[in-house]
Amino acid sequence: MFHRKNQFNEESHSLIPKPRGNRAQLMSCFLLLLCAFTLYLTGQSLYLALQCLITHFILLHVGTLLKGLCNFTEEVHHVTSRYHGNYLWALDACLELRRHAVFFLLLPVSAYLLFKETELPSCLNLSLMCFCQLLSIVFHLQRPSAAEISQQYEQNNCNVAQGLAWSYYVGYLKFVLPCLKNSIREFNSIQLEKRNSELLICEKTAKLHILIPLSCDVYDDLQKADSHIHFINNLPEMTVDRAGIKKRSYKNSIYGIQGADQKTDYCVLEYATPLQSLYAMSQDENAAFSRQDRIEQAKLFCRTLEDILQRSKDCSGCYQLIVYDDSKENDKHFLSKTITRNIRQQQEEEYTVCETEQNCTQSPNSLSGGIELLISGSDQPLSLHSDGY
Res 288: pLDDT: 76
Is residue 282 domain-resident?
yes
What's the chain's Rg over C-alpha atoms?
33
Res 379: pLDDT: 44
- Residue type present at position 313: K
For residues 135 and 143, give the distance between their C-alpha atoms in angstroms, rounded to a whole number.
13
Q: Are 211 and 272 in contact (CB under 8 A)?
A: yes
Is residue 383 domain-resident?
no
* Same domain flag for 170 and 79: no
Is residue 148 domain-resident?
no
CA–CA–CA angle 188, 193, 199 (5° rounding): 30
DSSP string, 208-260: EEEEEETT----SSHHHH-TTEEEEEEPPPEEEEETTEEEEEE--EEEEEE-T
Q: Is 118 left (phi over 0), alpha (psi -120 to 50) or beta?
A: beta
* Same domain flag for 180 and 123: no
Q: Alpha carbon of 215 to those of 93, 325, 359: distances in Å?
A: 37, 7, 45
Is residue 37 domain-resident?
no
Res 240: pLDDT: 85
* Same domain flag for 128 and 184: no
* Same domain flag for 212 and 332: yes
Domain count for the chain, please give it.
2
Res 123: pLDDT: 65
Q: Residue 199 sits in which domain range?
A: 160-360
Res 106: pLDDT: 65
Q: Alpha carbon of 25 to those of 29, 118, 156: distances in Å?
A: 6, 35, 18
Nearest to 24, CA basis, from 140, 136, 155: 155
Domain boundary among 116, 143, 170: 143
pTM listed for this prediction: 0.67
Helices and strands in the chain, H and E counts:
13, 7
Nearest to 179, CA basis, from 274, 250, 271: 250
CATH number at residue 287: 3.40.50.12100
Block means of pLDDT (10 residues each) for the chain, length 389 residues?
44 67 82 81 74 70 81 89 87 78 66 60 65 73 68 67 93 92 87 69 83 92 93 90 88 91 91 93 83 88 93 91 86 92 82 48 37 39 40
* Same domain flag for 169 and 298: yes
* Same domain flag for 340 and 276: yes
Is residue 249 domain-resident?
yes
* Same domain flag for 205 and 80: no
Is residue 71 domain-resident?
yes
Q: Are 214 and 15 in contact (CB under 8 A)?
A: yes
